[in-house]
Amino acid sequence: MFNRIISALLPFVLFTGITATSPVQAQGKYDDLLGPLGDGVSQQLLKGWQAGVRDGWFVLRNESEAESEQTLTVKAGTAPEDGRLTSVNISLNAKKDTASVGILVQNGEDLCLMEIVASATARLFCVANGKYREVASVPNAAKLDGSDVISMIDIPGAARFYVNGNKIGDLDGEPALGSEIGIMAYDVGTFGLADFSISALQAASDSNGGGNTDSGLPPRGGGSTGKGNSAATEEAGDGEGPLPMFGGDNVRIVAVYAGLIDSIFMHEFGHALIGELQLPSTGPEEDAVDIFSALRVIEPTMYPSGDADTDKIGSGAAKYAALQWYYNGKLGEQQGASTPWQDEHTADLKRFRNIFCVMYGGNPAIFEDIVAQVGFSEQTLGRCEEEFNKQNRAWRTILAPHTRVGAWNPDGLLSAEAPGASIKVTFEQSRSRVGNFIATLLAEPLQGFADELAKSYALPRPLSVIYRDCGELNAWYSPKEASITMCYDLIENLAVMISEVESDAPDTGAASPKPAGLDVPANSSFDAMDELKDAGVPPTILLFTAPYRGPTPNSHPRATIVSTAEVVDALKGEPKLILIDTSGKSQTLPGAIVVDDAGRDGSVTDSFQGAMSQFLKDATSEDTSTPIIVFGAGPEDRSSYNAALRAGTLGFKVYWYRGGVEAWAANGLPLKPVGASSEREAEANAQPDDGLRFAVYEGVDFYGSDVAKSRVEDVPQCLQACLANKQCQAFTMNVNPAIKKGPNCFLKDSTGKGEFYEQAISGTFLAPGSDGGFKVGNEVVRPTDIFTGNGK
């Protein structure tokens, strides 16, 4: 949800300090809404189209002319060398998904259109010399609530397009550029336009809202109000004191302020949730809400948006949310400061360790530079993924009874329409430049962020959030007033500290691949159960937490859903097809590979994701076009949804068989026994050459992830204990002869972080085709022995 702030803040910062020059002047009677397009409405209106003003919108309506294109353009000429911004607030109400409206650039017969379609897709395409070319298509980029803004920044010969602050695509050398600019509405429907403007780089004005009306269009601006960027730019520099701008690095500017505000606010919001919802806190509350804040800050980085700038800023924000405590702690050490023993807050460096460990466990890849910078030990890092999973499960479980189900809250136990109170954010004028920077440029996105939180959690009474000067470095939640106070003073102090400590901008991450699809011919039979029945759970890019029983979405963001009939046809016609079973049942589909923990929770950036990647590479011989069908016990087995999400995020061609074993059996299709003692015997039977393969490593300890422990006589007994335990994927045996009592065989649900320890012998199951190479630190170790289902 915090990506809303990132997306909204970046364009503001890009335009800060740039003065508008000679905008194209408006002259027509629709000037207030259409700017320079206003004068051309009457001359350019086509047959079947009507125009007027209603409810704060300039409205174009087409009731009968299917596939008709209504354009309104103005001669704008070539963009100035310093760049030009075109922006418009749009809305549409149409029965057909093909209806669209957007910004048009045109030069004679050549044109390019950045449009929002009624299906909420943002699409950029060009027609040059009579040939159509799609540049970009982004599903669900639009909100369709009256707040959608399309903008274009162009320079001579090139242009970049945004929807709601998110980059959609670029044009370079297109013949359509440098002449006319305007709008195009397409097909039957009602189309709303407002705040159309063309000017040298100056942000478009925000718009004021109104209620739903006869036009069928939502309120202007989604019901919000705000200041235009022109006024914002002038006001953001007002006040006293420093305004750290981090060398003019726009990505870094947004990352620092977003990371500081997000982490501080979510800490106080954690207090508010405990107080307002009467949640249990089994440890010191300050520590508990530190963890809550860390979980919320790292979450956007675990599920990349696909926009490189937004993802890079999200990673940077997470880093600064943690580094503020490290820098503050180190400066305190240098100055001889210490935290009083009776203070309810943990000392800064210890807070950094706890916060960073949880965040690292959620997405290790983005923190490698910090690990090297601060010198975290491998032993500490080995605990962090387990710590993230425990804390994430705990908070989601505690909050579930108060959470509305949604795409970002699949575990919510309340309906999406459950009643609850609002969160209102107010900004007082500040004496400081940092305070006015926040109040002026962030008012709308921070209120939008608060609205998203209010939609997620059913609060019993309204909560107010006040940003103001406090005269102290603090932020707090007041249960008496049901309010959160965010002090400009604290944010300023931390921003200045980071600016003084650092001299170079950090490297802040990257995006992830998207899955592909497969056309499988369908068979009209095999309809014994409704495999796509809507259970009221929206699709999500978050992994469901254990235990994995519960309703699932009837669509998937990273996989194509297939029915029983389609699986049957695929098995007949696709020789390379791979079936993966996560059900844990005693019977499975013929030819399936049983991988019980392929759908484990955590995140798609955890270390298990790396193991999953290697397994799939081995299974597909590194051919990502190999079709993979993932299935579980049935429509209420969330582990199969998770496994498809993990595999799809890795870029494999994934299909989710939602009906699973239950649908297969209900349609009278044959199942085969997995095996008397464990599912892995079925995997062994599917590999007649090698059988079940188990690698043993001497001098290696698989740290953490324990599911059971016992005392045994030797390594074979420890291996047998693992084979008999359904959760066991690996083990470590402590062979130190000095230890005479207590457990020495530790069964684990993953290998976790490997460490060198000469008194340990560890083992794990090998994926098909794997040579057993295992990374310990920076070194790859090979198995001492490999056992198969038929012996060594």
The DSSP secondary-structure symbol of 117 reads E
- Confidence (pLDDT) at 516: 31
Per-residue burial over 566-586, b = 16 or more CB atoms within 10 Å of its CB, e = otherwise: bbbbbbeeeeebbbbbbbbbe
SS3 142: coil
Pairwise CA distance, residues 764 & 247, whole Å:
50
The residues that bridge with 138 in the sheet, in sequence order, are 122
Please report, as a single letter, which amino acid is at residue 130. G
One DSSP character per residue, 489-505 reads HHHHHHHHHHHHH--SP
HEC secondary structure over 239-252: CECCCCCHHHCHHH
- Confidence (pLDDT) at 14: 43
One DSSP character per residue, 670-699 reads --EE--SS-THHHHHHT-TTT-S-EEEEEE
- Confidence (pLDDT) at 334: 64
Whether the CB-CB separation of 6 and 317 falls below 8 Å is answered with yes
Please report, as a single letter, which amino acid is at residue 643. A
- Confidence (pLDDT) at 542: 85
Nearest to 32 by CA among 194, 182, 146: 194
Q: Which residues contact 273 (CB under 8 A, 6 or more apart)?
A: 279, 292, 399, 402, 457
Whether the CB-CB separation of 329 and 348 falls below 8 Å is answered with yes
Q: What are phi and psi of 518, to 5 degrees?
A: -135, 130
SS3 402: helix
- Confidence (pLDDT) at 52: 83
Nearest to 165 by CA among 280, 62, 14: 14
Whether the CB-CB separation of 752 and 705 falls below 8 Å is answered with yes
- Confidence (pLDDT) at 436: 87
Task: Tell me the pLDDT tens digit for each residue of 136-147.
Answer: 999 888 888 888
- Confidence (pLDDT) at 300: 86
Q: Which residues of the chain have pLDDT under 50?
A: 8, 11-28, 202-215, 222-237, 337, 341-344, 503-524, 675-690, 790-792
Nearest to 125 by CA among 100, 93, 153, 91: 100
- Confidence (pLDDT) at 638: 93
- Please write down the long-range contacts of 738-743, taking CB distance under 8 Å and 24 or more positions apart: 741/711, 742/711, 743/709, 743/710, 743/711
Q: What is the pTM of this model?
A: 0.52
Domains, the chain: 17-235 (2.60.120.560), 246-501 (no CATH), 560-685 (3.40.250.10), 694-787 (3.50.4.10)
Using only C-alpha atoms, what is the Rg of the chain?
A: 29
Chain-centre distance of CA 719, in angstroms?
Answer: 39
Q: Which residues contact 737 (CB under 8 A, 6 or more apart)?
A: none
One DSSP character per residue, 196-251 reads EEEEES-PPPP-------TT-PPPGGGG-----HHHHHHHHT-SBS----GGG-HH
Q: What are phi and psi of 657, to 5 degrees?
A: -90, 90
Pairwise CA distance, residues 727 & 208, whole Å:
56
- Confidence (pLDDT) at 26: 35
Whose tokens are 């000392």? That residue is 347
